[in-house]
Amino acid sequence: MSKVTIIGATGRLGSFASHAISGIPHVDEVMLAGRPGRENSLMALSHDLTDSCAARGTGTKITWSTSPADYAGSDVIVVTSGVPRKEGQDRTDLALENARIIAPIAEQIGKYAPDAIILMITNPVDVMTAVALRYSGMEPRQVFGLGTHLDSMRLKVLIARYFQVHVSEVHTRIIGEHGESMVPLWSATTIGGIRISNLPAFSDLPMDEMVDRVKNSGSFIIKNSGATVYGPGDAIATLVQTIIGNENRILTVSSYVRSEVHDIGDTCIGVPARINREGVVPVSIRIEDAELAAFGASVEKIRALTRNIFEKMDELRSSG
């Protein structure tokens, strides 16, 4: 029996992610969680998703709750609660506002579902992953974020189109911040198993344009349609399936890094990590000098922002 809880289920991303998760094999229960006052909205969504499961011919049970005590028994808890950025904002602008929302939610998860695995989505996702880790009191392997998985998928599609190959032929990774300082790992990019730099067309590859497009993808979608929903929603479902199916895939997610990348770490940030039913563990890797310098800068940026947010949260809590 597997239970997946989505906290923030009434939001634009939360509701689509709930739909995507309800179609994963071996997920028996999807619990839609939200704040008191959202009962009608949660109930209506549960009816709609129950109809969807009936139409798909699956027997997934859809439940809902506004009580954190009902997090109990969850195998995975996906957190999408919080404010999204508006046109012109950077994800980091949301850090303190969303930390104030995520900290109490993480405390409740630590209290009622201490054996669950938390998948953090709220932005800025690397900092919110650290907030969830700190306030839940859970182990680093149990708390991870969507990180640069979606960015890696966005780059993969651009590379596949450029080389006119099926996306499954392309393997690539973006590590670091889910944001401006993200770092594409061209040294770990292959097409049909061949290192991309060994292909003659590599010298003409518009790498900077591709990475800029990935960096601007979220803001473009938000500006023109209000929110990013289907890309992150299906990416969330992939990660949940990887855990529930104990798949041992290596995906690029935000995870607490100690020293796995050339001894740089002590922060939550996007790195390749092995994901299974036990949780998420970063994989030790070696990367090229230029990539390492860029990753080091990204780690420093996120570590400083995270410390700053922790200090502000401590001040807010000590002043009552």
Ligand X SMILES: O=C(O)C[C@H](O)C(=O)O
Ligand Y SMILES: NC(=O)c1ccc[n+]([C@@H]2O[C@H](COP(=O)([O-])OP(=O)(O)OC[C@H]3O[C@@H](n4cnc5c(N)ncnc54)[C@H](O)[C@@H]3O)[C@@H](O)[C@H]2O)c1
Q: Could you tell me if 20 and 234 are in contact, meaning their C-beta atoms sit under 8 angstroms apart?
A: yes
CA 285 from centroid of its chain's CA atoms:
21
When binding is defined by CB under 6 A, the residue of 27, 45, 133, 146 that contacts ligand Y is: 146
Q: Does 227 appear as a known binding residue?
A: no
- Choosing from 13, 24, 76, 170, the residue that interacts with ligand Y (CB under 6 A) is 13
Number of Cα atoms under 13 Å in the Cβ half of residue 80: 24
The binder of ligand X chosen from 11, 147, 232, 272 (CB under 6 A): 232
Q: Which residue has its beta carbon closest to ligand X? A: 218
CA end-to-end span of the chain: 41
The strand pair at 170-171 and 174-175 is best described as unpaired
Q: What is the DSSP string of 115-158?
A: TSEEEE-SSSHHHHHHHHHHHH---GGGEEE-TTHHHHHHHHHH
What sign does the CA torsion over 206, 211, 215, 219 have? positive
Catalytically annotated residue among 26, 166, 171, 178: 178
Q: Is 198 annotated as a binding residue?
A: no
* Bridging pattern class, strands 3-7 and 76-79: parallel
Query: Is 218 one of the binding residues for ligand X (CB under 6 A)?
Result: yes
- Output the six-digit token pair for 110: 């630590």
Q: Print the binding letters for residues 25-64 with ligand X: x by CB under 6 A, - otherwise.
A: ----------------------------------------
Cβ distance to ligand X smaller for residue 213 or 258: 213
Site string for ligand Y, 15-44 (x = CB under 6 A): -------------------xx---------
Q: Does 12 bind ligand X (CB under 6 A)?
A: no
Does 215 contact ligand Y by CB under 6 A?
Answer: no
Q: For residue 157, which of 178, 147, 171 has the smallest C-alpha distance?
A: 171
Helix segments in 226-287, DSSP class H: 230-244
Question: What is the closest distance, in whole angstroms, from the C-beta atom of residue 204 to ligand Y in the complex?
Answer: 30
Contact (Cβ atoms closer than 8 angstroms) between residue 78 and residue 7:
yes
CB of 102 to ligand X, least distance (A): 15
Q: Is 149 a catalytic residue?
A: no
Q: Are the C-beta atoms of 134 and 114 separated by less than 8 Å?
A: no
Question: What minimum distance in Å lies between the beta carbon of 302 and ligand X?
Answer: 14
Q: Is 48 helix (H, G, I), strand (E, B) or coil?
A: helix
Q: What is the DSSP string of 4-28?
A: EEEETTTSHHHHHHHHHHTTSTT--
Stretch that binds ligand Y, among 9-17, 46-54, 65-73, 312-320 (CB under 6 A): 9-17
Each residue 97-136 as x (binds ligand X by CB under 6 A) or -, in order, gives --------------------------x-------------
- Three-state DSSP class for 37? coil
| Cβ closest to ligand X, residue 11 vs residue 232 | 232
From the list 196-204, 215-223, 272-280, 293-301, the region that binds ligand X by CB under 6 A is 215-223
Residues near ligand X, by CB under 6 A: 85, 91, 123, 150, 218-219, 222, 228, 232
- Residues near ligand Y (CB under 6 A) are 8, 10-14, 34-35, 80-85, 98, 101, 121-123, 125, 146, 150, 178, 227-228, 232
Cite the annotated binding site for NAD(+) by residue number: 8-14, 98, 121-123
Which residues are part of the catalytic machinery?
178
